[in-house]
Structure 1
Amino acid sequence: MTLTLGIDIGATSIKGAAVTESGEVVGRDVQPTPSAGSSADIEDAIVACIAALRSSLPDVSSVGLAAAGWIGPDRRSVVFSANFPSWRQEPLLDRLEQRTGLAMVLENDANAAAWGEYRFGAGAAATSMAAITLGSGVGGALIVNGELVRGHQGAAGEIGHSVMITDGYPCACGRHGCMENYVSGRSINRRAAAILPGADVYELARAGDERALGCYLELGDYLGRGLANVAMLVNPQLVVISGGVSDAYDLFAEQAQRSMRSELGAYWAGLTPEFAAGTLAADAGPLGAADLARHQA
């Protein structure tokens, strides 16, 4: 049985999985991400994760790496990563391949997680899919007719940084009014602080508090309006929603679909895709990265 490894390089931990062709995880390892580490420190941690997996599972053909940031069009270097300030035009694969002797693939973490859901999770029956990750920020990815859409410079799929509100809230990316500022965990906290200061808005919403539920309905409204543009651009069959905010999926998903249909209008309402919550959680990135490595190999 030939395995591929999927390594998800996060800000706090590096999660590795050994994956079969059918998507079964047969080995795992987690390494702490060096805090404020240099490029060499981060590479050491990645190599340690790979070595730990190979120590008991030696028949490994290739490795897929999932990293937060802008991946170059050659898919061998990280142009920019907010998580790792030392990664600027970082030729990550050149050094890691030399150190491990394994062929590698590098992918944006949102793309890798979307591919994992598409191949083995909530999107397994879809042909075209948009994925959106609602956490403290908002990640996005597009899969059209079985292919990841990466764009000319590798920066396609940044759904969270499409502008929703002209001159809206300032975004960390430098623009104003980005979708991220209206459908993320931070946006829920901002709304809750104005009407429910100090309260656990999620628990109150689960208990039926109308003010707390209103925070999630407002998120759903913005989400549907923003995704209407995605429906017009790529006409996905399915939207898969994951990330920490998706714990409240049932509180906002129906509102998001209603808002999308309303935003599309009578002529285009038929483009409204199905919605689904992601099913793979933290395994989505490693599974997707491993499968992308297998496909390239």
Structure 2
Amino acid sequence: MEFLRPATLAEALAAKAGRPDAVPLAGGTDVMVELNFDHRRPGALLDLTRISELREWTTDGPSIRLGAGVPYTRLITELGDRLPALAMASRTVGSPQIRNRGTVGGNLGAASPAGDTHPVLLATGARVEAASVRGTRMIDAGEFYVGVKKHSLEPDELIVAVHLPVATAPQQFAKVGTRNAMVIAVCSFAVVLDPENRRAGAAIGSAAPTPRHATDAEEFLAGELPWDAPVPLRDSVKRRFGELVASAAAPIDDVRGTAEYREHALAVLARRTLGWAWQDYLGSERTCA
């Protein structure tokens, strides 16, 4: 196995162009597990840990450009107030050691349906910045996932950053696992309020071949949330929202849970997270008033 270790992004893109089969190595929290269990034997590894450009984040007006190599720990401490749902999801990733190494870029590269950050990226309308020696392009999160552990990157492309809007209203993320810590999600869910556009983003994880939008649930909330005169939500609204979120899933039975349980849990997570987010929105509106 060849080990490639570029020092700059330009060198990394050139290396990837020359060896499209090279597997990128950022935090290594997914790749090294696969290597240790002999689930993967790539012809080359492309170590990205020396590339400083990937470990930076910048603010561009209403959005954040998050470098693909920024670890979860920094995301939580440095961006938790601006990207709250992503920070919530990051706190659920593995152990402190894993959070010190793992990255959103790596989560995207693995493209596992159970990846913790995926529902947040979908719900917020994030875009993935992919680069190659041919140039740079932006991929909507909704178009990035194309199958189980499959993404829409070209063989010579690398994920260099993720672009997310700065939160202007409450966001929530929750997941169900087989234990309280260091667990792969049985199912997960993110909801994002967007009062400026009179919409809410909703997305599920670990309950379909890919992470996916709960489109019907989003459209339902667009017509039900009382943005201009906020009042507590009726239980019927939360209950219907949960039903629509669960209907967006296409789960399977596996060692972590049954399909039936996943649908039930998603409905519960959706009701709870919407309730928490809307309660926070009510509080912020009263404070502003």
User: Is TM more than 0.5 here?
Assistant: no
Q: TM-score, normalised by structure 1?
A: 0.32
Q: TM-score, normalised by structure 2?
A: 0.33
Write 1 or 2 for the structure with the bigger share of helix.
1
Could you say which structure has the greater relative contact order, defined with CA pairs below 8 angstroms and 6 or more residues apart?
A: 1
